[in-house]
Structure 1
Amino acid sequence: MLDLNSLAEFSRANCVSICAFLVPANLLATILAMTFAALRRPSHYVWQASAIGSIFAFIMILHVYTWFLAGVVMAPTYILLWLALTCLLSNVGAVLFQKRFTQTPQHSNG
């Protein structure tokens, strides 16, 4: 069975390693999704990069909340939370941008 206390303790005990992976991975995946959307790549590229970036952002949010649950309220926790939320919104924005500005053929009725 999944023990959330053990998982939260693992998250806090390995904070430096988790953040050393999640911060660059989150930024790279988000930048890749935005680049694919801006260069008008096929939608599955944008969706895939955006999904990976969103997973990293969601994991970072959960990691930060383990610190909030432990009572640690410091600048790094807010900075990481802001970074994760910004990347999450940017990934959603990349998908919406790609959907909105995709070149679709116009059908005429006549």
Structure 2
Amino acid sequence: MFDFNNLIQFSHTYCIEICGLLVPMNVLASLQPIIFTVLHRPKKEINLMALVASFYALMIIFHVGSWFIVGVVRIQTFILLGFASCSLMTNIWAVIHGSSMRATIKFFQQFIVKFIKVITFQNQQVIPETK
């Protein structure tokens, strides 16, 4: 039979190392389905990258769950849980409805471009011509 006590002990002993590895891996892996969706890559590639990214997110959720089991309720656990949950939802969104993700990203891209144009136009100082 599998002993969860050893797994929980490992998770607690190497907490900094686990988080130091899983968080950047999760960020990088979760960006790939988003990028692949925007670039209209084949559905098979998007699904594969979302599966890999979801693995990292689930590992973070299990790691946080091991802390909840022993009663450690701190802000770090909730931040990690929220981060992993958002990552997991983003991956699911890319797999289930990639077209709405593309439309949302396109909308935000256009909004940011317009916003930057407004800011740069307002920051330009008109120097009067001297004759």
| Range of TM-score over shorter length | 0.7 to 0.9
Alpha-carbon shift at residue 60 of structure 1 (Å): 0.6
What is aligned with 2:97?
Answer: 97
**What is the CA RMSD across the aligned residues, in angstroms?**
1.5
Q: How many residues align?
A: 101
Matched, 1:53 2:49: no
Contact preservation (8 Å) 1:37, 1:97: no
Q: What letter corresponds to residue 89 of structure 1 in structure 2?
A: M
Residue identity opposite 2:76 in structure 1: P
- TM-score, normalization: structure 1? 0.86
Q: Whose relative contact order is higher, 1 or 2, with alpha carbons under 8 Å and at least 6 apart?
A: 1
Partner of 2:68: 68
Q: Distance in 2 between matches of 1:55 and 1:95?
A: 14
- Deviation of 1:97 after TM superposition, in Å, equals 2.7
Task: Return closer, same or farther for 1:78/1:100 CA change in 2, 3 Å cut-off.
Answer: closer
TM, length-normalised to structure 2: 0.73
Alignment-derived partner of residue 33 in structure 1: 33
SS of the equivalent of 1:61 reads helix
Q: CA deviation at 1:73?
A: 0.5
Whichever of the two has the greater Rg, that structure is 2
| Structure 2 alignment gaps of length 5 or more | 102-131
